[in-house]
């Protein structure tokens, strides 16, 4: 049962597209049933990246088993 959490700065506008891409890749992997795939996002207005509050960021976290969190990559 994969669970993807997309955390991003408020200045990222393509959240629906990011969610769909994650969902599609998990489905196309053939490892999961479509009804078990969960993808959601959370936008942050208050953050710092390299000391800046205007630098955009996106973090994807993939959980596959209860209690297991696997950071996929940071942008």
Predicted confidence (pLDDT) at residue 68 exceeds the cutoff of 60: no
DSSP conformation class of 1: -
pLDDT of residue 21: 94
Q: What is the pLDDT of residues 30-60, one digit of tens each?
A: 888 899 999 999 999 999 999 999 999 999 9
Question: Per-residue confidence at 66, pLDDT binned at 50, 70, 90?
Answer: low
Domains of the chain: 3-74 (3.30.429.10)
């Amino acid at each position: 049962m994969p669970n993807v959490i997309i955390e991003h700065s408020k200045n990222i506008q393509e959240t629906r597209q990011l969610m769909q891409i994650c969902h599609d890749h998990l489905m196309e992997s053939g490892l999961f049933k479509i009804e078990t795939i969960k993808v959601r996002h959370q936008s942050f207005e208050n953050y710092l990246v390299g000391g800046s509050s205007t630098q955009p960021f996106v973090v994807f976290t993939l959980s596959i088993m209860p209690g297991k969190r696997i950071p996929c990559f940071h942008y």
